[in-house]
Structure 1
Amino acid sequence: MPTMTTAESTYRSRAPWWFNLAGHLLEPWVRIRRDPAEPAGLLQGDAPVCYVIERDGFSDALILDRACREAGLPSPMQPLPNTRRRRSVFALARRDGWLFGRNRKRSPNEPLGQLVRSLEGFPDRDIQIVPVSIYVGRAPTRESGWFSVLFSENWVVVGRFRRMLALLLNGRDTVVHFSAPVSLRTVLNEEGEIRPERFARKMARVLRTHFRRIRAAVIGPDLSHRRTVVDAVLNSEPVRTAITATAAKENISYGKSWERAQKMAMEIAADYSHPVVRSASFLLRNFWNKLYDGITMHHFDKARAAAPGYEVVYVPSHRSHADYLLMSYQLHASGVVVPHIAAGVNLNLPLIGPILRRGGAFFLRRSFKGNALYPVVFNEYVAQLIDRGVPMEYFIEGGRSRTGRLLAPRAGMLAMTVRAYLRAPRRPVLFQPVYIGYEKLMEGKSYIGELSGKPKEKESLIGLLRGLGVLRQRYGHVALNFGEPIELNPLLDAMAGDWREAGTDPNSKPEWLNAVVGKLAEKIQININRAADVNPINLLALALLATPKHAMAENDLLAQLELMKALLEELPYSDRMTLTPLDPSAIVAYGEQMGWITRVNHPLGDVLTVEGEQAVLLSYFRNNVLHLTAAAAWVACCFLNNRRMSRASILRLGRIIYPFIQGELFLPWDSEGFGAQLQATIDFFVRRGLLEASGEGRLLERGPGQDDAAYQLKVIARSLIQAFERYYIAIAALVKNGPHTITAAELENVCTLTAQRLSLLNEPSAPEFFDKALFRGFIHKLREGRVVWTDEEGKLDYTAALEDMVRDARVILAREMRHSILKITGGDSEKEAPRHTEPDVPPTPAETMNTSEELHERHVIAEHREHAPLDEEKD
């Protein structure tokens, strides 16, 4: 027998003996979880408490009585003081009959009216109304069994016999949710003079709405069969118009065109099923336990607190097929409704597709081109989900990242969501970014093949069965970090003050829509990165991959890990970033345990190394967190080939290069913010002894090349140096070809081939080194900054700032690397094409450097001339 708590021992129930006996009989079958765990803290003052439950039922009364006893709350079975009520509880929906008796609903207005009348003439009296929601079997566990899914909580009002079976099968997973009490006196005072009967009806409506909202949050929205949603899609004005237009264009009957639209809608629509979701949760619990060592969520409490009242759209990073399963499982296990997930139609496989569809997946084709009807049907389906308040989830990267970096966003789903909201802005939209971090990927080897040029293998049932062998491995820990949410309304207010006048026309596309969607996509990616989780594998990858042979002496590795942890702790990237608590020794031991690194014993000290293909796989996890050390890597890069540099030079060059780093890594600062981050990083390096400051902090100097501090700086720098090599490849190739000679697509191709050749001739580079998308992004940023533009014939032209960038690259890149790049691109060492600037092109940051800053820099140079020429002394 369990020991009674103090609260239980002092509890006095006025229930009849048969009620207490039934409670004792039911007790072994029911285990209650209270939400919140200590609901007594919700009560306000000493006013009497009256509980209200959603549905009348003997079992609900027993569960409520026990929950109140265990929580130290007043008994619901005692008379309510100052009223004629014999019990301190009533139900919104009441019924007569027993077992197979006939049910009929009775109005809750009578008890509410009694409560109101009991306060008349007594202004000092008050009653606290406490809504209590009771759910039996919301989420079956290993203890409850498979069959219990059929009798778990749902939206259907069940009979007493079915409720009894639910208690027997799922009673050990019972949730009792106490809401904050409502002061009846306060509400009456706010309403003013109102008849008790009218007030009771209004209060009952408010309580019903409250219970529906809580039930939707706990077990999901009340969705009918997908055919209902499909009918709403087909009956909408935009779809009917598109059906008519298709029939006229293709000279077919309206009925045949309608059948085509219906087939498309059925192909798209989810068929959400609560039993299937709970069944999948039951299965996935064992699956995750075999696959992972743990799944952790950070900042989920903040995400849950921000969600009520919003249409929530989850926008996670996309790194594995496990992403959406993990998200859905963790949300369901945490008491939050599973979202509808946009999935590529390639996943609509036999057997697998129907299960995913019933788990909330809706399918979209990879391309909408060539079919005027399909995009209208799909847009309308998304609009229906938003209109019904169904939470959604999609990946704005468009596909899984093969490099570990966030991909450039594809804004299609975002644009559909915004346009759907503009049509009917009833429920505000909240985008919830989520960072998903792994320590090992099931798809790792296939990613390497795709990056090396192999075509992506098409998803198939046979391929899925063939890949089940990966389930025999262990994949470490997984982290789901919930980033800062983004409200759509403030963004619309800031960028399009007249957005509320956009109207209900589904075909309207305001001029500002693309700018809003682009800004929204950027903010989502930035907030995903701000919520990064730094695990032991990320730190090992940052350190070991920065060495030519991907190997470090154990003492050096321990020192580097300690430095990087200190950097992230003292200069946190954001308040949502999380960092492994393991110390450097434990991190190394964990890396060995996971099979990522190998120890080579040696009399002079052990060496830790990453062997062969593992190094390429490990680059994925370095790229996950590359943005966190971007500021530190830039400062360190400035000292790769220079002993001394002025602080002003580091900041000046940093401001020039920042737009390109920002676009590639989705960094959160503006130019001034990045400058402040560089200043803080320099100060950190000075405190740690990696740099020495002189001249009142204006001149910075590192130790000689063989010094430990110089070695640590070099390791930090090499995490970002390949980005600058890529930038140099692009500008060198463009300047070598000259203005008006090459298109953007041709330049991308030249850059990719050059990077591939460099990778073959020099030490192996990370797979993304010759990723065409990264070159495309850099060229886009050059064009965005009007450093490069397209002439009337589609050829690229550029300003003199491009040659300035070539010259500035000498500060960062080694002479050998610059000459190798120029040799491959056909350039003549450091000779470049003649400068020229188009008259109508605005000056760039490189051309408008502050004059006082230049004078200050020259003064520092003169002041320290006896040491060496600034920015030119090499090791």
Structure 2
Amino acid sequence: MPNHSNADAPRSRAPWWFTLAGQLLQSWVRIRRDPAEPATLLQAGVPVCYAIERDGFSDALILQRACREAGLPSPMQPLAGTRRRRSVFALARRDGWIFGRIRSRTPNEPLGQLVHSLEGFPERDIQIVPVSIYVGRAPNRDSGWFRVLFSENWVMVGSFRRLLALLLNGRDTVVQFSAPVSLRKVLAESGDIAPERFARKIARVLRTHFRRIRTAVVGPDLSHRRTVVDSVLNAEPVRAAIAASAAKEKISHAKAWRKAHKMLLEIAADYSHPVVRSVSFLLSNFWNKLYDGIAMHHFDKARAVAPGHEVIYVPCHRSHADYLLLSYQLHVSGVVVPHIAAGVNLNLPVIGPILRRGGAFFMRRSFKGNALYSVVFNEYLAQLIDRGVPMEYFIEGGRSRTGRLLAPRAGMLVMTVRAFLRAPRRPVLFQPVYIGYEKLMEGNAYAGELSGKPKEKESLLGFLRGLKVLRQRYGHVALNFGEPIELNPLLDATGTDWRAGSGDPDARPEWLNDVVDQVAERIQININRAADVNPINLLALVLLATPKHAMAESDLLTQLELSKALLEELPYSDRVTLTPMNPAGIIAYGEQMAWIQRVKHPLGDVLTVSGEQAVLLSYFRNNVLHLTATAAWVACCFLNNRRMARATVVRLGTLIYPFIQSELFLPWDSDGFAAQLEATLDFFIRRGLLESRSDGRTVERGPGQEDSAFQLKVIARGLLQAFERYYITLAALAKHGPHTITGSELETACTLTAQRLGLLNELSAPEFFDKALFRGFIQKLREQKIVWTDEAGKLDYDSALEGMVRDARVILSRDVRHSILKITQGGGEKEPPAETGEADTAA
């Protein structure tokens, strides 16, 4: 083993009582080292001196044992080349048995001794290793309720409380070794500086280091909520808003102040570490009753880039469980629980105070017409960012009812960026998180809302009624951490000196909206790039693509194998995770979860999905629909065409891509999508689903009755309904003509048409008539300058609209087009003639 010890120092054994105490402690305290092998951090042959955050007998015992078990030099031996009797020093000490006080002695004395020991000996060096010790950090199911009161926090407790913490939480002790600091190197970089001043500088650096580590592990030192509330109310923007409110409403300044104070108490979190620990203790049992397992992927990458940043967690929003799941998993993984922006509708009796003490702060759905509330909320958010409090919010604005990512709402992002611009001390890092379920507690409610039922208002009674969900099992949950997004590079790309405007709370530069839009789009794209494909997603993709949601078992096995091969051979991103189950295991799991039923038959079993289950299952298909968008487009091209030019598949794909990209938040530019189409064509050719003709210029599929044609049809169904929605919009617009209909009227007309078409064809996809999807498509038509609003507020359109209608004939069958035209136009009027030479009609 490399020699890391203070070998030149005279050996000194620890006092007998210290050794005895260590032996007694060993049977009770369980230590987890981070990293597990800290010896790899040290430089061989250089004396080691440990720096700990707080002095204390128990900390010395824990450090001694951790070093012994890791094969590190003992902190209790003299330090080579110095007069120090121990190879450890503390930054702060506390006297007293129960209610101690901090001693005036500083670490400058031992640091000064270390600096003086190097004087006149240029060959000497000392490596200072910061060691953080946390007692009672990680909860588990064996933890007692009372133990959470003595978990690690920011308060420097006395010896008696530390003893209680060891007795109650000693088995959850973490010793974190940080990379050593070369005293010689830092001394050389500091130039000609007095030893006393240099010692103070090193002490400041170490304090900052320990504060950063403790913030990451325990959370920011928020003190009491009153501290934050006072800071917000004393901020200049809030004081000005109070004065303006008093003048506008003709009330006294004191009454306006009380009004602002009441608003702030409605908003502000009241973070309590004991409550977080208590809730974590309860949730460990709750999750075990509800889920079969919770997995996190790529979390180590997220934790590695977080230090030194203001971290904003931005997960997708699919269930009320999202709030608790992410916070719980972060807590048990040793990361501080973020403050979560929650709708004020969740501030219910009993539930609200618990959420508030768990880090939730509440916001109203709209700030319009309430200038005072807007200023108070913005200032509160700015205070959190200024204090380095990690946050979490959902930029979709609400839970997705369809399983797709919703178009982002930029309100919280705008407030975050503006707060950072005021005081850009700590760079902001947005951390996207994909949350994937196998069954949703709210599934039936979502299906009802999409079919026209009103959303049920949150209430305590509704919450109590909802406890019946505990009777069911909801499978596995995955939390995938996507590629983080740093704000500073996006601000630098604006080409302006954005730091020059810092400090102005009302600053709203012209480029702000563009930066926020970029951040929002990247967040959604990176969430999708971290998708988890579970067995239920794959079953939904395949079974819902058949007319009766049924498939022979042999065909289902083949299609599942093809879907997995597609995702493996053409990876969407390096952060997508895929179930390791084989096709047979996926089917068995689907039956176990009661998503699919087996119908026995002498000629081979059939797997089917009931009508109600099919509607619910569409949610899980939509979770991962973006992963197969490229393959679905290629397959769509061969639904009604036996043969197509390879260049035509790519050309039409790049034309339709802006609309698919906007709806599914795809990551490629036009050239990147074209490359994906080429790779997908090659994949289908390798698999025998397509054949290459004419030296690769033409691609052909087999006859309609062959298995290859059936497999392509199943893949194509993933995007087909999107193209049908596009065609409904174009047909409705063409029916009314230019200058006759507004954007909102067109949305309504399209929604009604889709609903009627769904009734006629028994579609099991509620998102088919989702008004938001029509709104997004119309907005994209505007961005592409195909549609615009005239002076009267009516829609006008370009001749390119007719070209899009002609191109639709390549994808949509005559029957589908006729059905849509019949509903939108009241009869079967003719379409514009199609271009010739694009494709050969299938036999």
Query: Would you call these one fold, judging by a TM-score over 0.5?
Result: yes
Aligned length: 838
Matched position secondary structure for 2:641 = coil
Alignment-mate amino acid for residue 131 of structure 1: P
Q: 1:514 to 1:95 in 2, by over 3 A?
A: closer
Matched, 1:336 2:304: no
1:107-256 matches, within 5 Å, as: 107-256=106-255
Q: 1:417 to 1:572 in 2, by over 3 A?
A: same
Deviation at 1:496, TM superposition (A): 4.7
1:431-830 matches, within 5 Å, as: 431-826=430-825, 829=828
1: distance between equivalents of 2:269 and 2:57?
36
Deviation at 1:514, TM superposition (A): 1.2
Deviation at 1:143, TM superposition (A): 2.3
Matched, 1:872 2:830: no
Equivalent residue number for residue 378 of structure 2: 379
Q: 1:285 to 1:157 in 2, by over 3 A?
A: same
Deviation string, structure 1 residues 480-533 (Cα, Å, up to 9, x no partner): 000000000111111353322334221221111111111111110000000000
Alignment-mate amino acid for residue 746 of structure 1: E
Q: 1:171 to 1:195 in 2, by over 3 A?
A: same
Alignment-mate amino acid for residue 138 of structure 1: R
Deviation string, structure 1 residues 14-41 (Cα, Å, up to 9, x no partner): 2111111011111121000111111111
- The answer to whether the 8 A contact 1:97-1:103 is kept is no
2: distance between equivalents of 1:776 and 1:310?
36
Deviates more, 1:340-349 or 1:140-149: 140-149
Deviation at 1:830, TM superposition (A): 5.4
Deviation at 1:567, TM superposition (A): 0.6
Alignment-mate amino acid for residue 194 of structure 1: I
For the aligned residue pairs, the C-alpha RMSD in angstroms reads: 1.8
Q: 1:392 to 1:356 in 2, by over 3 A?
A: same
Q: 1:451 to 1:96 in 2, by over 3 A?
A: closer
Q: 1:136 to 1:503 in 2, by over 3 A?
A: closer
Deviation at 1:472, TM superposition (A): 1.0
Alignment-mate amino acid for residue 872 of structure 1: D
Matched position secondary structure for 2:53 = strand
Show structure 2 runs of 5+ residues with no match: none
1: distance between equivalents of 2:36 and 2:217?
16
Equivalent residue number for residue 89 of structure 1: 88
Equivalent residue number for residue 27 of structure 1: 26
1: distance between equivalents of 2:577 and 2:433?
13
Matched position secondary structure for 2:839 = coil
1:374-413 matches, within 5 Å, as: 374-413=373-412
Deviates more, 1:240-249 or 1:529-538: 240-249
Q: 1:627 to 1:97 in 2, by over 3 A?
A: closer
2: distance between equivalents of 1:501 and 1:690?
59
2: distance between equivalents of 1:493 and 1:99?
53
Alignment-mate amino acid for residue 871 of structure 1: A
Alignment-mate amino acid for residue 731 of structure 2: A
1: distance between equivalents of 2:495 and 2:557?
52
Equivalent residue number for residue 362 of structure 2: 363
Deviation at 1:763, TM superposition (A): 3.1
2: distance between equivalents of 1:780 and 1:757?
23
Alignment-mate amino acid for residue 223 of structure 1: L
2: distance between equivalents of 1:448 and 1:260?
40
1: distance between equivalents of 2:832 and 2:603?
52
- The answer to whether the 8 A contact 1:542-1:719 is kept is yes
Alignment-mate amino acid for residue 447 of structure 2: I
- The answer to whether the 8 A contact 2:430-2:485 is kept is yes
Matched position secondary structure for 1:516 = helix
Q: 1:487 to 1:102 in 2, by over 3 A?
A: closer
- The answer to whether the 8 A contact 2:28-2:167 is kept is yes
Deviation at 1:873, TM superposition (A): 1.6
Equivalent residue number for residue 302 of structure 1: 301
Matched position secondary structure for 1:628 = helix
- The answer to whether the 8 A contact 2:805-2:832 is kept is no
- The answer to whether the 8 A contact 1:735-1:832 is kept is no
2: distance between equivalents of 1:720 and 1:108?
66
- The answer to whether the 8 A contact 2:531-2:577 is kept is yes
Matched position secondary structure for 1:194 = coil
Deviation at 1:818, TM superposition (A): 0.3
- The answer to whether the 8 A contact 1:244-1:254 is kept is yes
Q: 1:117 to 1:734 in 2, by over 3 A?
A: same
- The answer to whether the 8 A contact 1:396-1:414 is kept is yes
2: distance between equivalents of 1:162 and 1:564?
58
- The answer to whether the 8 A contact 1:803-1:832 is kept is no
Alignment-mate amino acid for residue 751 of structure 1: C
- The answer to whether the 8 A contact 1:13-1:75 is kept is no
- The answer to whether the 8 A contact 1:600-1:607 is kept is yes
- The answer to whether the 8 A contact 1:140-1:148 is kept is no
2: distance between equivalents of 1:761 and 1:425?
57
Deviation at 1:95, TM superposition (A): 4.4
- The answer to whether the 8 A contact 2:618-2:764 is kept is no
Matched position secondary structure for 1:169 = helix
2: distance between equivalents of 1:491 and 1:100?
50
Matched position secondary structure for 1:29 = coil
Matched position secondary structure for 1:162 = helix
Deviation at 1:290, TM superposition (A): 1.0
Matched position secondary structure for 1:741 = coil
Alignment-mate amino acid for residue 733 of structure 1: A
- The answer to whether the 8 A contact 2:397-2:408 is kept is yes
Deviation at 1:367, TM superposition (A): 1.1
1: distance between equivalents of 2:94 and 2:355?
38
Deviation at 1:13, TM superposition (A): 7.4
Matched position secondary structure for 1:14 = coil
Deviation string, structure 1 residues 708-743 (Cα, Å, up to 9, x no partner): 111100000001100000000000110111111111
- The answer to whether the 8 A contact 2:611-2:764 is kept is no
- The answer to whether the 8 A contact 1:736-1:833 is kept is no
1: distance between equivalents of 2:99 and 2:299?
44
Deviation at 1:197, TM superposition (A): 1.4
Q: 1:645 to 1:422 in 2, by over 3 A?
A: same
2: distance between equivalents of 1:297 and 1:600?
36
Alignment-mate amino acid for residue 434 of structure 1: V
Identity score, percent? 81
Deviation string, structure 1 residues 236-294 (Cα, Å, up to 9, x no partner): 11111111111111111111111101100110000000100111111111111111111
2: distance between equivalents of 1:778 and 1:392?
32
TM-score (norm 2): 0.97
2: distance between equivalents of 1:95 and 1:276?
26
- The answer to whether the 8 A contact 1:383-1:420 is kept is yes
Matched position secondary structure for 1:158 = coil
Equivalent residue number for residue 267 of structure 1: 266
2: distance between equivalents of 1:196 and 1:512?
49
Matched position secondary structure for 1:271 = coil
1: distance between equivalents of 2:447 and 2:190?
67
1: distance between equivalents of 2:39 and 2:202?
23
1: distance between equivalents of 2:36 and 2:365?
46
2: distance between equivalents of 1:445 and 1:538?
18
- The answer to whether the 8 A contact 1:350-1:461 is kept is yes
Deviation string, structure 1 residues 669-714 (Cα, Å, up to 9, x no partner): 1111110100000000000000000111110000111101111000
Show structure 1 runs of 5+ residues with no match: 1-6, 835-845, 847-853, 862-869
Equivalent residue number for residue 849 of structure 1: none
1: distance between equivalents of 2:281 and 2:268?
24
